[in-house]
Amino acid sequence: YPIERIRNFAIIAHVDHGKSTLADRMLQVTELVSERDMRAQYLDKMDIERERGITIKAQAVRMPYKSKDGGEYLLNLIDTPGHVDFSYEVSRAMNACEGAILLVDAAQGMEAQTIANLYLAIDAGLEVIPVLNKIDLPAARPEEVAKEICALLGGEPEDILKVSAKTGIGVPEVLEQVVDRVPPPSGDPEAPTQALIFDSIFDAYRGVIVYARVVQGRMHPGEKIRMMATEFEGVIDELGVTSPEAIPINELGPGEVGYLTAAIKGVGEAKVGDTITLAGKHAAPSPLPGYREPTPMVFSGLYPVDSADFPDLRDALDKLQLNDASFNFEPETSVALGFGFRAGFLGLLHMEIISERLDREFNIPLVTTAPNVAYTVTLNSGEVLKVSNPADLPDPNQIDHIEEPMVDAMIYLPSEYVGAVMQLCEKRRGTMLKMDYLTEERVELRYRLPLAEIVFDFFDRLKSSTRGYASLDYEPADMQVANLVKVDVLLNGEPVDAFSSIVHRDKAYEYGKAMVSKLKELIPRQMFDVPIQAAIGSKIISRETVKARRKDVLAKCYGGDISRKRKLLEKQKEGKKKMKAVGMVEIPQEAFVAALSLG
Ligand code: GDP
Ligand code: MG
C-alpha cells in the first residue's frame, strides 16, 4: 500500500458510549471478521476487560477497505483505553494517528471524558470526526446532542454522522469519512528509523509484544533495535500486523502500524511513549517528543490475609509487573498487618484492576488498605522526604511543611446542578479555575483540587449530587503546601498503623469521629470490650467502644476438646473471610477501607 492510501485513526469516547461495539462493526464492514466468527468486543482481549466492558490496553487492527469510489485503502484502527487513569496512554495512542472519531452516545450526550479526550486529540493535531451513536435507542436525542458537539467543535449539526453501532446503520459512512477527511501519514522512508510505542503486552510464550507506529525510516525482522528511553537493545524476531490475528510481515515503513517481538522480558523495557530506533550508527539522533515515565498517583498497602502467602504475593506482583510498567511496589512492614507491599497505581481504577487480578488470577486473599496519595515533607532540618504511607509521616515537631499533589479537574454537567457541584468542590478544598457555559444547559467547570480529596469518594458524591448527570476527568497539576495532620486510630489502646490517615487539620476532628463510628459498625464484637480511639499525636480526639459479645461459640468449649473447637473455628472462618487478626482483635477487610465510605 502506498502511503497516501493509509489512514490511521482512533476512536475516542466516554466509557459505554459504544467504542468497542463500533470497532466490532468496522471489522465486519471491512470483512475482516465474518458474521459467524464475530463475538462482542472482539478487540478487548483480557477477561477483565470483557467482563467490565472497558478497554484497558490499547489495541490496533489493520483493515483493508475498498471505498465507494473503488479506491483501496488501509485503515489502522487504534483502540485506546477510555479511562482517566490512562490518559497518558490515550495521548500516546493519539500521537500514532492522524484522525479520531469522536463517538458520543446520542442518549447520554457529551461527558467530561469525551471532552478531555477531544482536547487531547486537538493537542495531537488530529482531524476529528464527530459521530453520534445509539440512534436506535428511543431515548436518543441526536439533534440536541449534535448542537452540543457543534458548540465545542464548530460545524453544522446536520453534518454530524448519526449511527447505531449495534445495528450497523451508518457505519459504512463513518469509514467513508475516515477515508475522505483523515489525512494520510507522511514520513521519509530513508530517514533514521523512529517508531512510537503506543502499547506493549506481555505474552508468556513470546515475551513482550510491542505495538508501534513508524514515524520515519523502516524496520525489518533481524534488525537490531534500541528503545531510546529505556536503552533496551535487541534483535527483531518477528515483525507483523494485526488483521485481526497476527500476520508476520517483512517491512514496516512510515505511517504503518504493527507489532514486533525482540526477546523483551518485561513491558518495563518497552514503555508506552518510548521511541524505537535502530541500534548503532543508523540510530536516530533524538527520540520522538512526549515520552513520560509512568508516575503512580495513588498508593495502597497490599497484605496477604495469611502471612504464609507472602512469597506467593511477591511472585504474583512480579508477574503483574511484567505486564504493566505503570504499577510499582516495594516491601513494607506493618505492625498491625505484618509483611506486605506498598504499591503505587496510576489511579483508583488501575488499583482496582490490579487487586482484582491478584484475587482472580493468583487467588491470594488480600487486605488492601485505604488508598492515599504521596506527600512531599520538608523537615525542620531541611531534609525532604516522599511519604506514600501515612504511617511513615514523621513526628509533627520535626516537620516544617507538607505539600500534597493537586489535580486540575474538569466537570461537565447540566447547568441546574452547578450550585451543588460548586458546594461539593469547595468542601473538598477546591479552587475554581473556570466556568464555561457551552450551551444554555451544559456547563464545563474547572477546579484545582487536592488529589487526596478526589481519592476519597469524590466521584460518588459528584454523581449523587447531580443525579448521575455530571462527569469528571482530571489531570495531575502541581504540589501545594497544606495544613495536614496524621490521624491515628487505636484499637484496644494500640495504634493500628494501617488505619492512619493524613487529613487537613480543619477536617481532622470530623474525620476522626466519623472513622471511629464507622469502625464501631464494622468491627464485630469480640470476647472483650474493644475501645476505638482516634488521635492526633498523643491527643485523643474521639472514642467509641465495641461491647463484648455475650454468647460466644468458643465460650462453651473452654477446656473442652480441641478438635471440636477447631471445627467451630473452621465454620466461623467461612463467615469472616478476609478477617485479619490485629493483636487480639479480628478485623474484617472492609474496616481497612472504611475511610473511603465516610462522609
Ligand atoms: P465502550 O465502553 O465505549 O467500548 O462501549 P461498548 O462498545 O462496550 O458499549 C457499551 C454498551 O452500549 C454495550 O452494552 C453495547 O451493546 C451498547 N451499545 C453500543 N452501541 C450501541 C448502539 O448503537 N445502540 C444500542 N442500543 N446500544 C449500543
Ligand atoms: Mg470498550
Q: Express each pLDDT in 495-546 by its tens digit.
A: 888 899 999 999 999 999 999 999 999 888 888 899 999 999 889 999 999 9
Contact 591, 522 (CB under 8 A): yes
Q: How far is CA 2 from the centre of its chain?
A: 37
| 504 labeled part of a ligand binding site | no
pLDDT at 84: 65
* Least distant ligand from the CA of 16: 1
Here the cell at position 155 is: 460545524
DSSP string, 209-235: EEEEEEEES-B-TT-EEEETTT--EEE
Q: How far is the CA of 574 from the centre of ligand 2 (A)?
A: 36
Element (H, E) at 29: helix 19-29
Query: Which ligand has an atom closest to residue 108 CA?
Result: 1
Which residue bears the cell 465454620?
A: 571
| b/e burial code for range 457-480 (CB count within 10 A of at least 16 → b) | bbeebbeebbeebbbbbbeebeee
Rounded distance from Cα 80 to ligand 2 centre (Å): 9
Provide the 3-class DSSP secondary structure of residue 238.
strand
How far, in Å, is the centroid of ligand 2 from the Cα of 70? 31
Which amino acid residue places its CA nearest to atom 22 of ligand 1? 134
Atom of ligand 1 nearest to the CA of 137: 26
80 lines ligand 1 (CB under 6 A): no
Q: Can you give the length of the chain in residues?
A: 599
Ligand 1 geometric centre to CA of 74 (Å): 25
Is ipTM over 0.95?
yes
Q: 20 among the known binding-site residues?
A: yes
* Residue 380 labelled as part of a binding site: no
DSSP class per residue in 500-532: -EEEEGGGHHHHHHHHHHHHHHHSPP-SS-EEE
Distance (angstroms) between ligand 1 centre and the Cα of 243 equals 23
The ligand with the least distance to the CA atom of 21 is: 1
Cell numbers representing residue 9 in the block: 485513526
Residue 56 has a pLDDT of 46
Binding site membership of 144 for ligand 1 (Cβ less than 6 Å):
no
Helix (H) or strand (E) holding 28: helix 19-29
- Rounded to whole angstroms, the Cα distance separating 528 from 531 reads 10
**Phi and psi angles of residue 460, each rounded to the nearest 5 degrees, phi first:** -65, -45
Determine how many CB atoms are found less than 10 A away from the CB of residue 410: 23
Residue 164 labelled as part of a binding site: no
Task: Please give the DSSP secondary-structure letter assigned to residue 412.
Answer: E
Q: Is the pTM of this model over 0.90?
A: no
Q: Dihedral of CA 301/305/307/308: which sign?
A: negative
Per-residue pLDDT of the chain (599 residues; tens, 9 = 90+): 799 999 999 998 888 899 889 988 998 888 887 777 776 666 655 555 445 544 445 578 999 999 998 999 999 998 777 666 777 888 888 999 999 999 999 999 988 888 888 888 998 999 999 999 999 999 999 999 999 899 888 899 999 999 999 999 999 999 999 999 999 999 999 999 999 999 888 887 888 999 999 999 999 999 999 999 999 999 999 999 988 888 999 999 999 999 999 999 988 999 999 999 999 888 999 999 989 888 889 999 999 888 899 999 999 999 888 888 888 999 999 888 889 999 999 888 888 888 888 888 888 888 888 889 999 999 999 999 999 999 999 998 999 999 999 999 999 999 999 999 999 999 999 999 999 998 888 899 999 999 999 987 888 889 889 988 888 888 889 999 999 999 999 998 888 888 999 999 999 999 999 999 999 998 888 888 999 999 998 899 999 999 887 655 555 544 555 565 566 556 555 444 556 777 778 888 778 877 776 75
As a whole number of angstroms, the distance between CA 160 and CA 130 comes to: 6
Pair 406, 412: CB distance under 8 Å: no
Q: Is the CB of 168 under 6 A from ligand 1?
A: no
Residue 561 confidence (pLDDT): 56
pLDDT at 575: 44
Q: Among the atoms of ligand 1, which is closest to the Cα of residue 13?
A: 3
Q: How far apart are CA 82 and CA 381, in angstroms?
A: 44
Q: Binding residue per annotation — 70?
A: no
Q: Does any ligand 1 atom lie closer than 6 A to the CB of residue 108? A: no
Our answer on whether the CB atom of 16 is closer than 6 Å to any ligand 1 atom is yes
Question: In this structure, what C-alpha cell is assigned to residue 80?
Answer: 485506546
Phi and psi at residue 302, in whole multiples of 5°? -115, 115
Atom of ligand 1 nearest to the CA of 11: 3
Q: Is 21 marked within a binding site?
A: yes
User: Which pLDDT score is estimated for 594?
Assistant: 77
**Residue nearest ligand 1's atom 10 by CA:** 16
Please indicate if the annotation marks 134 as binding a ligand.
yes
**Any atom of ligand 1 within 6 Å of the Cβ of 136:** yes
Mutate to test the pocket of ligand 1, among 41, 101, 166 (most ligand atoms within 8 A of CB): 166
pLDDT digits (tens, 9 = 90+) for 91-136: 888 999 999 999 999 999 988 888 888 888 998 999 999 999 999 9
User: Pairing between strand 194-203 and 338-345?
Assistant: unpaired
Binding site annotation covers 68?
Answer: no
pLDDT score of 87: 79
- On whether 18 is known to bind a ligand per the annotation, the reply is yes
Cα 88 to middle of ligand 1, angstroms = 24
Rounded Cα distance between 509 and 503, Å, is 10
**CA distance linking residue 270 with residue 272, whole number of Å:** 7
| Nearest residue by C-alpha to atom 14 in ligand 1 | 16
- SS3 state at 487: strand
Q: Rounded to an integer, what distance in angstroms lies between the CA atom of residue 524 and that of residue 530?
A: 10
- A 10 A CB-CB count for 362 gives 16
- Does 216 contact ligand 1 (Cβ within 6 A)? no
Ligand 1 mean position, distance from CA 535 (Å): 49
Confirm or deny that 136 is annotated as ligand binding: yes
The rounded Cα 73 to chain-centroid distance in angstroms is 34
SS3 content of the chain, % helix, strand, coil (to 5): 30, 35, 35
Task: Check if the beta carbon of residue 169 is closer than 8 Å to that of residue 28.
Answer: no
Closest-lying ligand 1 atom to the alpha carbon of residue 103: 3
Reported as a single tens digit per residue, the pLDDT across 164-173 is: 999 999 999 9
Residue with cell 468486543: 41
Residue 168: all three cell numbers together: 450497523
For ligand 1, whether the C-beta of 137 sits within 6 Å is: yes
Residue 73 identity: Y
Distances (CA, A) of 359 to 281, 316, 327: 47, 10, 17
Ligand 1 pocket test target in 11, 14, 21, 136 with most atoms within 8 Å of CB: 21
- Report the candidate in 519, 258, 506, 473 with the shortest Cα–Cα distance to residue 349: 473
CA dihedral angle for residue 300, residue 304, residue 305, residue 308, rounded to 10 degrees: -160
Of ligand 1's listed atoms, the one at least distance from the Cα of 23 is: 7
Stated as kind and residue range, the H or E segment containing 367 is: strand 366-368
The rounded Å distance from CA 13 to ligand 2 centre is 9
Residue 430 β-bridge partners: none
Q: What's the CA-to-centroid distance between 53 and ligand 1, angstroms?
A: 9
